[in-house]
């Protein structure tokens, strides 16, 4: 398996890295290392994270208040990191961006 960042998740992660770099460069380096460690864990054991929906799982970072939302694509042998989320700020907001909308159904009633 390989791990790949979706563009939006990559942007979220880089925004957080830049924030930590302004505070302390060592913190941003530790964040990068922590995400790399987490991605390596997922490559070895893709189902390690907690299931949060039919298609998505989440795994917290060990030293930072963030978690990674990911999807396992068995046929491609890929783990897609779809969101990098702050646990303290609207942790469910990622769903609006990555989940496909529910199909529209039309109810048809049989005439009596």
| Residue 51 DSSP SS3 | strand
The strand pair at 57-60 and 66-73 is best described as: antiparallel
Give the architecture-level CATH label for domain 2-98: 2-Layer Sandwich (3.30)
Phi, psi of 13 (to 5 degrees): -60, -45
Rounded Cα distance between 59 and 67, Å, is 5
Which runs of E-coded beta strand occur in the chain?
2-5, 50-51, 57-60, 66-73, 78-86
Q: What mean pLDDT do residues 74-79 have?
A: 92
Rounded Cα distance between 86 and 90, Å, is 8
Tell me the pTM: 0.81
pLDDT given for residue 96 in this prediction? 67
Domain boundaries, the chain: 2-98
Per residue in 18-42, pLDDT tens?
Answer: 999 999 999 999 999 999 999 999 9
Phi, psi of 96 (to 5 degrees): -65, -30
């Amino acid at each position: 398996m390989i791990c790949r960042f979706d563009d939006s998740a990559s942007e979220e992660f880089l925004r957080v890295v830049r924030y930590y770099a302004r505070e302390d460069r060592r913190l941003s380096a530790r964040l990068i290392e922590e995400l790399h460690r987490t991605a390596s864990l997922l490559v070895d054991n893709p189902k390690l994270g907690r299931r949060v929906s039919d298609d998505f799982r989440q795994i917290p970072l060990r030293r930072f208040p963030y978690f990674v939302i990911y999807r396992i694509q068995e046929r491609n042998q890929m783990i897609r990191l779809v969101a990098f989320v702050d646990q303290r700020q609207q942790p469910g907001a990622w769903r609006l961006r990555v989940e496909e909308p529910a199909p529209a159904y039309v109810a048809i009633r049989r005439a009596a």
